[in-house]
Amino acid sequence: MTITINALTRYPVKGMSGQTLESVQLETGKGFPCDRLFGFARPNSGFDPANPKPLPKSKFYMLARDAALALLNTSFDDNTGVLSIATQETSGEFDITTADGQQQASQFLQLYLDLPDDESPQLFEASPHRFTDVSVVSTELMNAVSIINLDSVEAFSKTIGHAIDPKRFRGNIHISGLAPFSELETVGQQIAIGSAKLKVVMRTKRCPATKVNLITGERDLDTPALLQEHYGHKDMGIYAEVIEGGSIAPGDVVEVL
């Protein structure tokens, strides 16, 4: 069976909603374009944008602890630097390339989460630093691309008798046509995607963020525990480093080399 790309998604702000893309230009040694470039840090996080160093995800506002973030509809325009955030009741647009815009976006999130002043978020950006969950492992993994096999998600759904939205796993590249969970055995191998080439470097261990229903904003499924119960591990998806840049798009063929 032919393996193909189904969807491409970037997450400009850590913990916020993703944006579907029609194509992406991957660059050698760099992560998914405009992915996790911004993050809302908790007070006293210790993050210094002038000297960025990886921090644990617990230092940021994110789905694992703040399920209500799932109900925010966000989009980022990298041409204008404007981050749009909308709830059912209100919305805002913020130029987060400026200090004022970052502060305004932080205040918007504080009000939305109903946080006291001593828990006010602070939006940071420090390119080329990325606010990925695995940034604390290595610089290389901070710039890795996350890949989700939709056939694995479908098999998992059937096993537990509950339909699972693949978006829970917040992957950059969704693929299909690969035997369920066989992607986990490709660590160390190279894969060709479109005109790019990547090396699989790590299985993705799932965290409590995947418990959150992205429609309701509620924790309705203990995904990590169910993976452990039925498969003996908590892994769904893989991380891969870009070793040869190139253009990729939905419909492109994926080949395990």
Give the model confidence (pLDDT) of 164-209 as tens digits. 999 999 999 999 999 999 999 999 999 999 899 999 999 999 999 9
pTM: 0.95
Q: What is the CATH number of domain 3-9+16-31+136-256?
A: 2.40.33.20
Cα 142 → chain centroid? 11
* Of 171, 187, 181, residue with least CA distance to 232: 181
**Mean pLDDT per 10-residue run, the chain (257 residues)?**
96 95 96 95 92 91 94 95 94 95 97 95 92 88 95 98 96 98 97 96 96 94 97 98 97 96
Which of 147, 132, 152, 148 is closest to 227 using CA atoms? 152
Name residue 27's amino acid.
E
H helix or E strand, kind and range, residue 22: none
Where do the domains of the chain lie? 3-9+16-31+136-256, 38-46+56-125
